[in-house]
Amino acid sequence: MIIVMKPTATKDNLANVVKRLENLGLRAHLSEGEEVTIVGVIGDKKTIANLEMNMMDGVDKTVRITEKYKMVSRNFHPQNTIVKVGDVEIGGDELVVMAGPCSVESLEQLKESAKAVKSAGAKFLRGGAFKPRTSPYDFQGLGEKGLELLRQAADENGLKVITEVVDKDDISVIEEYADVLQVGARNMQNFQMLKALGKAKKPVLLKRGLSATISEWLNAAEYIMTGGNEQVIFCERGIRTFETFTRNTLDLSAVAAVKELSHLPIIVDPSHGTGRWQMVQPMARAAVAAGCDGLIIEVHPHPEMALSDGDQSLTPKNFSRLMKDLSAIAKIMDRKL
Ligand code: PEP
Ligand code: MN
């Protein structure tokens, strides 16, 4: 349920509403807009079903919410949420590009990548230190050593770090090195990990599961938010369909859907979304035109030698060309890049 306060409601009116909810064992989530304040009610379903708030002073109306996710919902929080990472804002006027190799392989590889993506305009260095590989025989990542290398290369180039968490027991060590914690597609419904990320201090990038519906994805974000971490960013990275030409089918309609249903930012991953470097540029351009808040793109100084996902990695030169195109499209979309 949401309670919409009257524009004339006083602070006392609001405090009384919150007190009444708390006395009933419910939680109030406030969204204070320029004109009206909305109180999102969270807690026991039965208590909420029997709740009568319309007669309280300052209350304009109450609206029942049918979706299971609440804190994620735009009904609960009509204004766009901006996730701040130091001086970088995700979901604001600026489009944020995160780029770098699929996996951290060596300091040299990372230094080359970081320098290239920074000079092209990226704000984040991406790279997996713990890799969720389909085959146990594939390269599994450098672990904590990889995190150290990421931090070093990013700091030397004034970049933020985003990297994936594949096990909830690694969250605390990854938080020491990274600025944003990535939940990969394979872990979108790892509920124990989502709950643990609800207690994390760093923002979370939640990738869409391989076969997840929009509703399942939004509910996964609700796990993180109800745990106390409200800094969640969605990432569309393609879903599994009957098509085999591409690695996944990039669902750009998800950008519009998430923007309608949620106040949280959404970025797009055209690398895993297509699996083919030739398709990364057109899909990145389309993603910006669709209204996303940013992109995460695999870039490798020597894609042919990459230990993972070389086929979908852009060379620094192609990445730099793409950033120029994106900057032109961003202008039409009233965004900066
Ligand atoms: C990645 O970003 O390296 C990755 C493994 O992505 P996904 O979880 O989308 O497959
Ligand atoms: Mn990859």
Q: Give 6's DSSP letter.
A: P
Average pLDDT over residues 217-235: 97
Going from the Cα of 155 to the center of ligand 2, the distance in angstroms, rounded, reads 22
Per-residue confidence (pLDDT) for residue 34, from 0 to 100: 86
Atom 6 (ligand 1): residue with closest C-alpha? Answer: 184
133: pLDDT confidence band, cut at 50, 70 and 90? confident
Going from the Cα of 50 to the center of ligand 1, the distance in angstroms, rounded, reads 44
pLDDT 10s digits, 237-274: 999 999 999 999 999 999 999 999 999 999 999 999 99
In single-letter form, the type of residue at position 209 comes to: G
Going from the Cα of 309 to the center of ligand 2, the distance in angstroms, rounded, reads 5
pTM for the model = 0.95
Residue among 164, 204, 309 to mutate when testing ligand 1 (max atoms within 8 A of CB)? 164
Q: Which of 69-83, 108-122, 127-141, 322-336 is least confident? A: 127-141
With a pLDDT cut of 70, the percent of the chain lying above it is 100
Going from the Cα of 272 to the center of ligand 1, the distance in angstroms, rounded, reads 7
Average pLDDT over residues 162-168: 97
H/E/C letters for each residue in 216-248? HHHHHHHHHHHCCCCCEEEEECCECCCCCCCCC
33: pLDDT confidence band, cut at 50, 70 and 90? confident
Q: What is the mean pLDDT of the chain?
A: 96
Closest ligand 1 atom, CA of 183? 8
User: Which protein residues touch ligand 1 with a CB less than 6 Å away?
Assistant: 102, 128, 132, 164, 184-186, 207, 237, 269, 272
Number of H helices, E strands in the chain: 11, 14
φ, ψ (nearest 5 deg) of residue 168: -60, -25
The answer to whether residues 32 and 7 touch, using CB atoms and an 8 Å cutoff, is: no
Any idea which ligand is nearest the CA of 300? 2
Asked whether the predicted pLDDT for residue 66 surpasses 90, the reply is no
Intra-chain end-to-end CA distance of the chain, in Å: 38
pLDDT 10s digits, 5-18: 999 999 999 999 99
Any idea which ligand is nearest the CA of 186? 1
Residue 12's alpha-carbon distances to 57, 282, 332, in angstroms, are 9, 53, 44
Rounded to whole angstroms, the Cα distance separating 117 from 164 reads 19
Rounded to whole angstroms, the Cα distance separating 49 from 70 reads 15
The structure tokens 């939640």 sit at 206
Residue 253's alpha-carbon distances to 53, 79, 237, 260, 329, in angstroms, are 37, 21, 12, 11, 18
Sheet containing 2-5, strands listed edge to edge, beginning at the edge strand earlier in sequence: 27-32, 37-42, 2-5, 59-63
Burial of 251 (0-12, 13-18, 19+ CB in 10 A): middle
Of 37, 43, 1, 49, the C-alpha closest to 22 is: 43
Residue among 205, 249, 269 to mutate when testing ligand 1 (max atoms within 8 A of CB)? 269
Going from the Cα of 297 to the center of ligand 2, the distance in angstroms, rounded, reads 9
CA of residue 213 relative to chain centroid, distance: 16
Per-residue confidence (pLDDT) for residue 246, from 0 to 100: 98
Average pLDDT over residues 40-61: 94
Closest ligand 1 atom, CA of 182? 2
Rounded to whole angstroms, the Cα distance separating 246 from 77 reads 36
Rounded to whole angstroms, the Cα distance separating 3 from 63 reads 6
Per-residue confidence (pLDDT) for residue 120, from 0 to 100: 98
Per-residue confidence (pLDDT) for residue 132, from 0 to 100: 84
Average pLDDT over residues 276-291: 98
Three-state secondary-structure class, residue 60: strand
Rounded to whole angstroms, the Cα distance separating 236 from 207 reads 6
Atom 4 (ligand 1): residue with closest C-alpha? Answer: 184
Residue among 135, 207, 309 to mutate when testing ligand 1 (max atoms within 8 A of CB)? 207
Of 320, 255, 259, the C-alpha closest to 289 is: 255
Contacts with 90 (C-beta within 8 Å, 6 or more apart), sequence order = 82, 83, 84, 96, 203, 233, 265, 267, 293, 294
Per-residue confidence (pLDDT) for residue 221, from 0 to 100: 98
Three-state secondary-structure class, residue 126: strand
